[in-house]
Amino acid sequence: MNEKLASTIGKAARVARERLGLTQVEVAGRMDLSPIVYNRLERGRMLPSVSTLVRLCETLEVSPEVLLGHGAPAGRARARAPVRDEEPASLHQLTGLARKLDEDQRQALLLLAKLLLR
């Protein structure tokens, strides 16, 4: 295993995850990985497969170049998805939580949000 590359990917993943306001467990869940495996990846103890690297990029909204240490450092505006540049981390967290709700719960959350806007 290339320990330097594993460390680079892990550090970039941690920075990107924290920028999104996500926990390791949330990222692991979105990627269909066990939290233990994601933790090892983020600590630089393992290298992801190509398919896992692609899912990691999509989940953390960074390019492969950023995770591989060849792009702008994670956390800078360029590393973020252009549509979400101005969204706060709390909005990302709320979206992630809403995805876990069933339809009735989402409707209740929507109603609550509308009431808060009055």
Q: Could you give the percent of the chain with pLDDT greater than 70?
A: 86
Report how far residue 59's alpha carbon sits from residue 22's, in angstroms, rounded to the nearest whole number.
10
Rounded alpha-carbon distances, angstroms, from residue 101 to 34, 89, 106? 20, 19, 6
Confidence of residue 89 (pLDDT cuts 50, 70, 90): confident
Q: Quote the domain boundaries for residue 65.
A: 3-86
pLDDT at 25: 95
Q: Are 41 and 56 part of one and the same domain?
A: yes
Question: At CA 61, angle to CA 74 and CA 49, rounded to 5?
Answer: 90
Q: What is the mean pLDDT of the chain?
A: 83
- The reported pTM is 0.61
pLDDT band at 26 (very low <50, low <70, confident <90, very high): very high
Q: How many domains does the chain have?
A: 2
Same domain, 25 and 77: yes
Instruction: Enter the DSSP assignment of 80.
Output: S
Return phi, psi of residue 76, to 5°. -80, 160
